[in-house]
Amino acid sequence: MHVPEVEMHACVTLEDASALLTRYAPRARVLAGGTDLLVDLKTGRANTQHLVSISRIGSLRGVWATAEGLRIGALTSITRLHHSNLVRERCAPLRDATGQMAAPQIRNMATVGGNLACAVPCADLPPILTVLGAEVVAWSPRGERRLPLPQFFLGPRRTTMESDEILTAVIVPPMPAGFGAAYARFALREGNAIAVAAAAAGLRLDGEGRIADARLTLGAVAPVPQTVELAREVLVGHRPDEPLFEKAAAAAELAARPISDVRGSAEFRRRLVGVLTRRALDTALRRAREATS
């Protein structure tokens, strides 16, 4: 494998980057950390002649507390996100994903924006961010556009981003009182293995300990992060217990649309979904109870 001949453009402003994307469309791609895109170029999955690097746009790097919640810059590395005190204090479930992603060297380079914009079905951030109610912020010369994550993904490596748009940030709203969330994944080895299947769960308890709201999103078992509405219907209004979580896990297995490949058969992945859903629900419940105590 080798990287095909491409022309690199280094930008210091969003305006410059957007102009280059427009000029060279459809043969231009945004380059951030490059951990997904460079692999796609080597394997022929991406066909582009121009790489528009935004790595010098410092305003896209960092985590900030705002009135809307946490604003995470698109160029923030996975390592920086994982070690952010703001994330630890206000959005700890994100660290379930960031702590398991790839190898340390990859986490140092990989960016939040890249993990989302590449729209790889096995990406780790989309399921837990979906459960947390996150939105992406896309910038173009026409202004900013905000999209909830379920509206952002169209299919494998396909999003609703326009050719001149650049993903600049992710907004994660404050977690409501009595809410807990968790992310569970399975990979074939620890190291840098990608997820074979994953599940993110969120539960909000009312004052009597019943489930007032529930969210469940699957990863790596469908073309896009798969939100399981049936699981919500199963869970809401009931007191959490093992039989209830088993029903939710069964609903998740039914909703999954896995494929068979070198990492596992579709049936293997479907069974994993049930196991991971129960794990995520158990951890989310523990955290929800801690949030109400």
Locate the domains of the chain by residue range.
7-53, 58-172, 179-288
Q: How confident is the model at residue 228 (pLDDT cuts 50, 70, 90)?
A: very high
The CATH fold of domain 7-53: 3.30.43
**pLDDT exceeds cutoff 60 at 1:** no
Q: Partners of 65 in the beta sheet?
A: 70
Closest by alpha carbon to 275, among 185, 180, 181? 185
Position 191 scores a pLDDT of 46
Burial-class residue 105 by CB neighbours within 10 Å (0-12, 13-18, 19+).
Answer: exposed
Structure tokens at 94: 């994100």
CATH number of the domain located at residue range(s) 179-288 in this protein: 3.30.390.50
**Hey, is 12 helix, strand or coil?**
coil
Cα dist from 180 to 198, 212, 245, 272, whole Å: 17, 12, 15, 22
d(CA 167, CA 137): 6
CA angle 241, 281, 206 (to 5 degrees): 65
CATH number of the domain located at residue range(s) 58-172 in this protein: 3.30.465.10
Residues 6 or more apart whose Cβ sits within 8 Å of residue 143:
none
In tens, the pLDDT along 130-144 reads 999 999 999 999 999
Contact 139, 166 (CB under 8 A): yes
Contact 141, 169 (CB under 8 A): no
Q: Partners of 197 in the beta sheet?
A: 186
What is the reported pTM?
0.94
| pLDDT averaged over every residue in the chain | 94
